[in-house]
Chains A and B, each alone.
Chain A
Amino acid sequence: MNDMRLTRRDVDMNDIKISAKGVQVHYGDTHAIKDVNVDIRDKTVTAFIGPSGCGKSTFLRCLNRMNDTIDICRVTGEIALDGEDIYDKRVDPVQLRAKVGMVFQKPNPFPKSIYDNIAYGPRIHGLAKNKADLDDIVEKSLRRGAIWNEVKDRLHSPGTGLSGGQQQRLCIARAIATEPEVLLMDEPCSALDPIATLQVEELIDELRENFSVVIVTHSMQQAARVSQKTAFFHLGNLVEYGDTEQIFTNPKDERTESYITGRIG
């Protein structure tokens, strides 16, 4: 598995960015997440893998409180970002989401120009003092999103006119334009073709230099390629969490092994 890795990066991976303790999620009567404890490290790509319906996306959405928008969803336990409980009453979810950005399964650019797609976040958070500042942020974000060269000549054409892979990279650029600390990605490549997938994976690996990245994926190859840490979810439980290499070569739990070898899932 080691040779499938993209590049090695010399970053400090020891800081814990998000720490979840005893997290339980209920959807109405369904117990979707059962007592999950996990420490997500900074400057690391952490992959959540597991069969469909195992709760990995649900848990991901707890990390920036996107589940708040669902009426019947109840979250208990403690999730701390840099030591601060994000479910504390004093926390405004809007502020939290500026720090913990999110990229979704289906590319969802706003039906506006490419420029406005990127500029929207900085505008509402007041990150740019003037037009030149904003132009800088847009260019920087598009460069970090590895899409600048493709769109620099048509910044004012609609973002929805791009191809699927370009749209997804645009969405990633949009998410990093607000300078988040953590980037959550919910199956970001599931709607993309293999070439676009590769481009996005390379991008994810580069993003690790600046952010803590959490990615939910159905593809075990993808998890092996891009992540340093892997968490395996099954039926709402976090079964195993460890270094990606260890999970894929020497899983401790029987269920993990069965899933990786294709016997469950």
Chain B
Amino acid sequence: MTETSMNTPSGSLFAQDERTKKRNAAEKRFRMFGLAAIATGLLFLVILLTSILSSGLGAFQQTFINVPVYLDEAKLDKNGNRDIEDIKKVSTFGYNPLIQQAIFDSVTEQGIETPLAKAKDMKALLSASAAAQLRDDVIANPDLIGQTVTFRILASADVDGYLKGRVTRESVARDKNTDAAHLDLVDELRDAGVIKKSFNWAFITGADASESRPEQAGMGVSMVGSFFMMLVVLFLALPIGVAASIYLEEFAPQNKWTDLIEVNISNLAAVPSIVFGILGLAVFIQFAHLPQSAPIVGGLVLTLMTLPTIIISTRASLKAVPPSIRDAALGIGASKMQSVFHHVLPLAMPGILTGTIIGLAQALGETAPLLLIGMVGYIATDMPDGFFGGFLDPNSAMPAQIYEWAKRADPAYYERAWGGIIILLVFLLTMNIIAVILRRRFERRW
């Protein structure tokens, strides 16, 4: 018998003694702390998600004006012979009056009273991209000239903002393009069904636009940029990382050199990402003369950054394979390599894949290194040219695009930045879910 149990009064089992009470209280306290910690975490998560969704979901809706436009032959094709070269000579300035007139006509037709007496006053309702949209359609199909065609035209950011509650009559007082009369007109046109909000595919598939046309900007091109970067990362970091880990874990002798390498890999994982960015600038762009802002450079930089993550997780999953499996293989007369590739690697695969996907997800969301190689700040307005163009043409990346939008002055871009974050989070979430599924699927017991 120990001394403490000798000291406890020999009372009933139903009555708790002082020590037990204290111990139970301590345990209860600890549980409360744990619950509080989890609750705080969840609370922050909920706040984060609500603020992202409430600020960003608007970007997936866009205001369009549906209006029949008379494509006047006298304005668009003066010679009347549908010569494509002649049609191309008419710039977007030639189309603007037609659209403005069309909206004005439609206002008159609906019998809407408005102090805006001239067709020119309709300009503020339209996106600057409207004329270009019409011109592209006409050049693609010159037969449209002379007909009245109904177009779905982007409304201006102000109109869009008004329908989404971002632009108000108070804020519009300081705006020199739009005034309260325009907003009254928008109300009427919306009631008449001419102006409508609908789902904005262009935000997901489209290209970035200039600073003055937030209504036109989309994530599509930068998504392609991110995709090509991830291709580079996957096809470089995975084989290099796995090969390095297998060698270090299974073949390398234990000496001070391998210790040194090990320590440095761990250090590398903790290096700030901007350092990798400046390394990429120095090595890949200034020394190797790879093109600036190109996804291949971004991919190479992110590969360097992802390698330590993949190596560390791969080594951990190789270590987790019980040594008895290696013994079993060696005992039968398998070579070291056979034992690794036939038995150890398949067992470590789920861990390796999970680590790789987590590494890729990290790389996908990384912005700082892209700053230094010119992918942040590049206005990604054009889709890359083919497969190799995807690697070599200048492009942006999803997080870089979000950063770019967040910097811009127009409040319409603020909404777009949040919307971009939603898209990025959807990607990250998907990758993490894939990682979990892979782990569940391939996990084997031994």
The A contact surface, by secondary structure, is helix
A264 on the interface (CB 8 Å rule)? no
In contact, A111 and B446 (Cβ under 8 angstroms): yes
Stretch at the interface among B132-140, B328-336, B400-408: B328-336
In contact, A98 and B333 (Cβ under 8 angstroms): yes
Stretch at the interface among A99-107, A222-230, A248-256: A99-107
In contact, B338 and A124 (Cβ under 8 angstroms): yes
Given that A71-B253, A111-B347 are contacting pairs, would A66 and B335 also be in contact in the complex, using a CB cutoff of 8 Å? no
Residues of B within 8 A of A125 (CB): 333
Q: What number of A-B contacts does a CB cutoff of 8 Å give?
A: 68
Inter-chain pairs besides A71-B253, A95-B333, A120-B334, 17 sampled, C-beta below 8 Å = A64-B331, A97-B333, A98-B332, A102-B331, A104-B328, A104-B331, A106-B324, A108-B322, A111-B325, A111-B347, A111-B446, A121-B332, A124-B333, A124-B338, A160-B446, A171-B328, A178-B333
In contact, B327 and A108 (Cβ under 8 angstroms): yes
In contact, A97 and B324 (Cβ under 8 angstroms): no
**Among the listed B330, B332, B444, which residue makes an inter-chain contact with A69, where contact means beta carbons less than 8 Å apart?**
B330
Q: Which residue of A lies closest to B334 (CB)?
A: A124
Q: How far is the CB of B446 from chain A (nearest CB, A)?
A: 5
Q: List 17 contacting pairs A-B, 8 Å CB cutoff, sorted by A.
A: A64-B331, A69-B326, A69-B330, A98-B332, A98-B333, A101-B331, A102-B327, A103-B331, A108-B324, A111-B325, A111-B347, A111-B446, A121-B332, A121-B333, A125-B333, A160-B446, A171-B328
* B residues in contact (CB < 8 Å) with A: 253-254, 322, 324-335, 338, 342-343, 347, 444-446
**Among the listed A94, A98, A120, which residue makes an inter-chain contact with B342, where contact means beta carbons less than 8 Å apart?**
A120
Q: With the chains together, A124 CA to B331 CA distance in Å?
A: 13
Q: How far is the CB of B330 from chain A (nearest CB, A)?
A: 6
* A residues in contact (CB < 8 Å) with B: 64, 66, 69, 71, 94-99, 101-104, 106, 108-111, 120-121, 124-125, 160, 171, 174-175, 178
Given that A160-B445, A160-B446 are contacting pairs, would A110 and B333 also be in contact in the complex, using a CB cutoff of 8 Å? no
Q: With the chains together, A104 CA to B325 CA distance in Å?
A: 11
Q: With the chains together, A114 CA to B338 CA distance in Å?
A: 19
Q: Which residue of B lies closest to A72 (CB)?
A: B254
Residues of B within 8 A of A95 (CB): 333
Residue picked from B253, B324, B331, B446, most chain A C-beta under 10 Å: B331
Q: How far is the CB of A141 from chain B (nearest CB, A)?
A: 12
Q: Which residue of A lies closest to B332 (CB)?
A: A121
Q: How far is the CB of A144 from chain B (nearest CB, A)?
A: 15
Residue picked from B325, B328, B338, B347, most chain A C-beta under 10 Å: B328
Q: With the chains together, A109 CA to B329 CA distance in Å?
A: 10
Residues of B within 8 A of A178 (CB): 332-333
In contact, B330 and A97 (Cβ under 8 angstroms): yes
Residues of A within 8 A of B347 (CB): 111
Q: How far is the CB of A187 from chain B (nearest CB, A)?
A: 13
Q: Which residue of A lies closest to B333 (CB)?
A: A98
In contact, B334 and A94 (Cβ under 8 angstroms): yes
Q: With the chains together, A104 CA to B444 CA distance in Å?
A: 21
Q: How far is the CB of B395 from chain A (nearest CB, A)?
A: 44
Q: With the chains together, A23 CA to B324 CA distance in Å?
A: 26
In contact, B324 and A104 (Cβ under 8 angstroms): yes
Q: Which residue of B lies closest to A177 (CB)?
A: B332
Residues of B within 8 A of A108 (CB): 322, 324-325, 327-328
Residues of B within 8 A of A71 (CB): 253-254
In contact, A175 and B331 (Cβ under 8 angstroms): yes
Q: With the chains together, A41 CA to B408 CA distance in Å?
A: 87
Residues of B within 8 A of A99 (CB): 333
Residues of B within 8 A of A103 (CB): 331
Given that A71-B253, A108-B324, A111-B446 are contacting pairs, would A66 and B332 also be in contact in the complex, using a CB cutoff of 8 Å? no
Q: With the chains together, A207 CA to B445 CA distance in Å?
A: 31
Q: Which residue of B lies closest to A106 (CB)?
A: B324
Q: How far is the CB of B24 from chain A (nearest CB, A)?
A: 40
Q: How far is the CB of B252 from chain A (nearest CB, A)?
A: 10
Q: With the chains together, A157 CA to B78 CA distance in Å?
A: 82
Given that A71-B253, A108-B325, A124-B338 are contacting pairs, would A174 and B445 also be in contact in the complex, using a CB cutoff of 8 Å? no
Residues of B within 8 A of A109 (CB): 328
Q: With the chains together, A132 CA to B37 CA distance in Å?
A: 63
In contact, B332 and A101 (Cβ under 8 angstroms): yes
Q: With the chains together, A66 CA to B329 CA distance in Å?
A: 11
Q: How far is the CB of B295 from chain A (nearest CB, A)?
A: 40
Q: How far is the CB of B280 from chain A (nearest CB, A)?
A: 38
Q: With the chains together, A111 CA to B327 CA distance in Å?
A: 14
Residues of B within 8 A of A69 (CB): 326, 330
Q: With the chains together, A99 CA to B335 CA distance in Å?
A: 14
